Chains A and B, each alone.
Chain A
Amino acid sequence: MRVAGIETEYGIVDPAAPQANPILMSSRLVSACRLWSQGRTAPWDYGGEDPLQDQRGMRRDRATAGADMLTDVHEWDPAHGRISLRRRRGSWEDPAHLNAVLANGARFYVDHAHPEYSGPEVATAREAVLWDRAGDQIALGAAERYAEEEGSRVELYKNNVDGKGASYGTHENFLVRRDLDFDTLARLITSHLVTRQVVVGAGRVGLGQRGEREGFQISQRADYMEAEIGLETTLRRPIVNTRDEPHADRKRWRRLHVIIGDANCMDVPTYLKIGATSLVLSAIEAEDDRLEALVLADPVAAVSAVSHDLALRAELTLASGETATALEIQRALLEIARTYAEDVEDALVLERWEQVLDALGRDIFAAAKDVEWVAKLQLLGRLRDKNATVDSEGVARPLAWSDPRLAALDLQWSRLGDGWATRLRAAGAVTALVTDEEVARAVAAPPASTRAHVRGAFVSRHPDMVDAAGWSTVVLDRETRHGKLEVLHLDDPLQTGHPVLDELDAAT
């Protein structure tokens, strides 16, 4: 596969005080996470972020950028080489941007008004599932500690909408080759991002950004996608986001930042979200000619059309003038992707992808164990039938989609710990790709396959020495002749060791 990672912004609620300030709660949750981690944590290194660099080669002028785009307000230190020196600065942390870099290589922090878990870099789809689930457990651990510290409770929701108009993201990141033209990448990946909803959508009660029309749709995020391509992530959200921060050697790599995806509470969608998308990216990197025929005429309109079509029959118009359904486009992408499987992990992704497409093509409910929107729709359907009323003509009328019980089920589906998705899994009604024991290990330790291993090892074994850590840096604060901080550069996401770490481990 390729290096990838998932970021999740959780919904946050104090059930006893629905008006409580979410920024404050998120900040205290991160503090609680630090306590939960028992000292095995580090602050974030803001030394190298560049959120205004656009993949298309231009830079956004700071003056025209919204305040929420300026994530690099700390100093900028363009450093080169494996280790560079940095002058000391104050250790003040903005409470609204509190961070905890964790022993498993992840970052837990406050993003806007939500707690966010940015999982460590992984190298397989199965690892993505493991460290995504680990994030849920870490967030739950932090919430338990929060209750002890604060004397009040927070509930966390792994979803993307509140039904009142607000949306918050679950982003995927994929490392792609820098020499691939970005416009080509954007044009060719869009068909996959639009049509994969049928496989990876989490399902949503309500149509429109505020749920202004009643009904059910396949994706949480679809109605918030308003542009084909762009730099923004909080308004006029694009299908393809152009932020160009590779967090790696810029000459070799891009990071494709995918913001269209839903938060998933089931394993198979998380697995395919990363695994299938990675294989389609391989086809794009190889400039596979077959992809051009799948380009959509109007991708933004197609996002909602696919999401609102539970029968999976909507015909999407292609740039060629022909039409195809989302399932047909997914099937074509699967066939193309077969050429790019490199190992057993990729082969298993293809097999799972095919199984799910086959099931969806037969009868959507045949996919209820694997596909989240179908599992949710099935449960909603049974609740509607259970509460059906019989009209004057003796015809049973299921519960209307506008009934608040259905909206409540949808929200509670994603609640961490005791949500209905978790309960459904416990009942054996959904496919589990990883075990609880494996997840527990992923809470404590990073993947061995990427540089997250180095970050996690420093944080877990030498936390007192780590001044800060970022995706591509670990900053050490230790006794030296020069008296400065040492910035270790991890520009290769696939590097799994560092000589300084070896020295320190040998000495202790």
Chain B
Amino acid sequence: MPQTHATGQPYEDDAPEPAPAPAKAESTDALDSLLDEIDDSLQTNAEQFVRSFVQKGGQ
């Protein structure tokens, strides 16, 4: 089989690339607001949530 290791992006037509990432600042803002939301939601119920998450073993 031929070597087809790619450097760069020679195959753009065949393999659609994901949508371009948002600008860094925008992404950081979104992350900050997500972090605030996580922080708020975990202030009250984290311990109870963790204790009640019980699963049976599987494969």
Binding site for B on A (CB under 8 A): 9, 11-13, 18, 22, 111-114, 126, 157, 162-169, 171, 233-234, 259, 338-348, 350-351, 369, 379, 382-383, 386-387, 403-405, 407-409, 411-412, 420, 423-424, 427-429, 431-435
- The answer to whether A163 touches B18, judged by C-beta atoms less than 8 angstroms apart, is no
B13-30 near A? 1/0 per residue, CB < 8 Å: 011001101100011001
Q: Which residues between 30 and 45 of chain B lie within 8 Å of chain A, taking CB atoms?
A: 30-31, 34-35, 37-39, 42-43, 45
**With a CB–CB cut-off of 8 A, which chain B residues contact A420?**
34, 38
Shortest Cβ distance from residue A455 to the other chain B in the assembled complex, whole angstroms: 22
Report the bound CA distance from A131 to B58 in whole Å: 22
- The answer to whether B18 touches A111, judged by C-beta atoms less than 8 angstroms apart, is no
Contact A167 to B58, CB < 8 A, known contacts A348-B15, A427-B34, A432-B18: yes
**With a CB–CB cut-off of 8 A, which chain A residues contact B47?**
404, 408
A sample of 8 inter-chain contacts (CB < 8 A) reads A11-B55, A166-B57, A341-B4, A344-B6, A382-B31, A403-B46, A424-B34, A427-B34
- The answer to whether A18 touches B54, judged by C-beta atoms less than 8 angstroms apart, is yes
Q: What's the tally of chain B residues with a CB closer than 8 Å to chain A?
A: 37
Residue from B3, B31, B42, B57 within 8 A of A167 (CB atoms): B57
**With a CB–CB cut-off of 8 A, which chain A residues contact B26?**
428
Shortest Cβ distance from residue A201 to the other chain B in the assembled complex, whole angstroms: 19
Shortest Cβ distance from residue A129 to the other chain B in the assembled complex, whole angstroms: 11
- The answer to whether B6 touches A351, judged by C-beta atoms less than 8 angstroms apart, is yes
- The answer to whether A166 touches B55, judged by C-beta atoms less than 8 angstroms apart, is yes
**With a CB–CB cut-off of 8 A, which chain A residues contact B50?**
163, 404, 407-408, 411
**With a CB–CB cut-off of 8 A, which chain A residues contact B3?**
338-339, 341
Which of B22, B31, B58 is most buried by chain A, counting CB atoms within 10 A of its CB? B58
Binding site for A on B (CB under 8 A): 1, 3-7, 11, 14-15, 18-19, 21-22, 26-27, 30-31, 34-35, 37-39, 42-43, 45-47, 49-50, 52-59
- The answer to whether B4 touches A111, judged by C-beta atoms less than 8 angstroms apart, is no
Shortest Cβ distance from residue B38 to the other chain A in the assembled complex, whole angstroms: 6
- The answer to whether A427 touches B15, judged by C-beta atoms less than 8 angstroms apart, is no
Residue from B4, B21, B53 within 8 A of A346 (CB atoms): B4
Report the bound CA distance from A167 to B47 in whole Å: 20
Report the bound CA distance from A267 to B16 in whole Å: 14
Report the bound CA distance from A302 to B18 in whole Å: 35
Residue from A9, A163, A383 within 8 A of B59 (CB atoms): A9
Shortest Cβ distance from residue A380 to the other chain B in the assembled complex, whole angstroms: 10
**With a CB–CB cut-off of 8 A, which chain A residues contact B35?**
379, 382-383, 386
- The answer to whether A168 touches B59, judged by C-beta atoms less than 8 angstroms apart, is yes
The closest CB in chain A to the CB of B49 belongs to A408
The closest CB in chain A to the CB of B37 belongs to A423
Identify 18 new A-B residue pairs, CB closer than 8 A, beyond the known A428-B21, A435-B19.
Answer: A111-B58, A114-B55, A167-B57, A169-B58, A339-B3, A341-B5, A342-B1, A383-B39, A387-B39, A404-B50, A407-B46, A408-B46, A408-B47, A423-B34, A427-B27, A427-B31, A428-B22, A429-B31
The closest CB in chain B to the CB of A426 belongs to B30
**With a CB–CB cut-off of 8 A, which chain B residues contact A407?**
46, 50
Report the bound CA distance from A341 to B30 in whole Å: 38
- The answer to whether A163 touches B19, judged by C-beta atoms less than 8 angstroms apart, is no
Which of B6, B15, B45 is most buried by chain A, counting CB atoms within 10 A of its CB? B6
Shortest Cβ distance from residue A382 to the other chain B in the assembled complex, whole angstroms: 5
Residue from B15, B30, B53, B59 within 8 A of A428 (CB atoms): B30
Shortest Cβ distance from residue A287 to the other chain B in the assembled complex, whole angstroms: 15
- The answer to whether A171 touches B5, judged by C-beta atoms less than 8 angstroms apart, is no
- The answer to whether B18 touches A126, judged by C-beta atoms less than 8 angstroms apart, is no
- The answer to whether B55 touches A348, judged by C-beta atoms less than 8 angstroms apart, is no
**With a CB–CB cut-off of 8 A, which chain A residues contact B14?**
344
